[in-house]
A = this chain, B = another copy of it.
């Protein structure tokens, strides 16, 4: 409550633009911002197979402005960015397997698209605040755990490289052109409003689909690989809180969970919570094995120190809410 009232004080009446705002994280962010009293514009390209889904914003459909457009459209972005105080930049190609067969969407959307947004800020709205959301994949295989923001960055795929390049471009616009920016590296986020048609966007949500459908979940390897799974509401709060902290600007901040979980624990908790589904061990596919970075969990000391944010949702609770959401709205996502 305390957090919410201070966030509401901050965002009330603020003009915000969310790129990729009909996708998983963007739409949850839009819901939170509308509830906090912000004036929200959503930009989404509705690329087939991507995360955009109008149903995601059904509860706020009359309280947001939705603009169908691609972040690579320079004229449109120049126009849209002019009038917004905060740009939450979530649009992009986010399928790391696809990026291994075709590197060009990642380069074009994630790298060039981010530059389009920052150039628009530079020329038409230099006081805009930009919150760039990247991925923990920017680190690649962890040299030591937990992984802090100064760890080496050895991304293992084009998707991850494109995020790293976009983050570094954002840093340069912050440092050289004074476009105040926060650069986040999100861990594995799960929860309602994700794309659930294919398994390539997030392993937890895909496991949720399988459990809801009472199907078998493959646990790769021995199931002992550790990850820090983060519930969407915690992720949204991290994004919103960071944007309110002056000390966060110019910083790279991990948005993760300092309570790592093994895949086996994840699957067992999920099946218990769902009451359906089953699991078995399975070997890695060659593509996944090639990109599998092993254990990974984030050091969140920096974001906690700067913003006070930390995860609140226990895995069991997050999974329960996720299962309930998709059970209720299955036809909208399956």
A residues lining the B interface (CB < 8 Å)? 100, 103-104, 107-108, 111-112, 115, 118-119, 150, 152-158, 161-162, 164-165, 168-169, 171-172, 175-177, 290-291
Contact = CB atoms under 8 A, between A and B. Distances in A.
A176 B158 CA distance: 11
Contacts of A165: 111, 161-162, 164-165
- What number of copies of this chain does the assembly contain? 2
A97 to B, nearest CB: 11
Nearest to A169: B161
15 contacts: A100-B177, A103-B169, A104-B112, A107-B107, A107-B112, A107-B115, A111-B165, A155-B168, A156-B172, A157-B176, A161-B168, A161-B169, A162-B165, A164-B168, A165-B165
Contacts of A169: 103, 158, 161
A152 B115 CA distance: 23
B111 A158 contact: no
A143 to B, nearest CB: 10
Contacts of A155: 168, 172
A206 to B, nearest CB: 22
10 A-B pairs with least C-beta separation: A165-B165, A103-B115, A161-B168, A107-B112, A176-B290, A107-B111, A161-B169, A161-B165, A107-B115, A111-B111
A115 B119 contact: no
Contacts of A118: 103
A98 to B, nearest CB: 13
Contacts of A176: 100, 156-157, 290-291
A218 to B, nearest CB: 22
Nearest to A74: B104
A111 B158 CA distance: 11
A172 B157 contact: yes
A112 B108 contact: yes
A161 B162 CA distance: 11
B103 A119 contact: yes
